[in-house]
Amino acid sequence: MEPVRWLTDEEQRAWRRLAAVVLRLPATLERQLQRDAGMTHVEYRVLALLSEEPDGQLPLRRLAAQANASLSRLSHVVTRLEERSWVVRQPDPTDGRTTLAVLTEQGREVLVAAAPGHVAAVRSVVFEPLSERDVADLERIAGRIAARLDEPPATNNR
């Protein structure tokens, strides 16, 4: 039982602000997309990721990773997208285990329609208040934390 290392004052201030961002930013974007495009943020990201692929398709596993979601969640999301015919499931011919999500023409259209509003929202909330230097610093810092979030299924402390 080692002594608890609490946060320093500086760390506490930084953490409070980061926590506010981390808790409010998703809610804000969620609301904008839901209101203007009738889709959730995950759904948008899935469509966007698919549209970036040359053939508009990706295995669920990879979609999950790139969208920062669990595979289970992604499966549910794809089901919803499929119901609206924005995406179709297709078996992967090269591997019987994997399922491909394929972007439909309709899906591409709703994405194109939704994108400007979403980008405007992101720009308005995150980039407008930042200087160029801020953006560079943000990239560096978020990268370090994100890297940490990838790796450590390790034991909690130390």
Partner DNA sequence: AGCGGTCGATTGAAGCTTCAACTGAGTGTG
Partner DNA sequence: CACACTCAGTTGAAGCTTCAATCGACCGCT
Tell the smallest beta-carbon distance from residue 143 to a copy of itself (Å).
5
Q: Interacting stretch for DNA, rule CB under 7 A, among 12-20, 88-96, 131-139, 142-150?
A: 88-96
Q: What is the DSSP string of 89-148?
A: EEE-TT-TT-EEEEE-HHHHHHHHHHHHHHHHHHIIIIITT--HHHHHHHHHHHHHHHHH
Q: Which of 13, 61, 123, 144 binds DNA (CB under 7 A)?
A: 61
Q: What would the x/- binding string for DNA be over residues 23 to 52, using CB under 7 A? A: ----x--xx--x-----x-x----------
List 49, 69, 121, 126, residue binding DNA (CB under 7 A): 69
Q: CA neighbours within 13 Å on the CB side: how many for 91? A: 5
Phi/psi for 46 (5° steps) reads -65, -50
Contact footprint for DNA (CB under 7 A): 27, 30-31, 34, 40, 42, 59-62, 64, 69-73, 75-80, 89, 92, 95-100
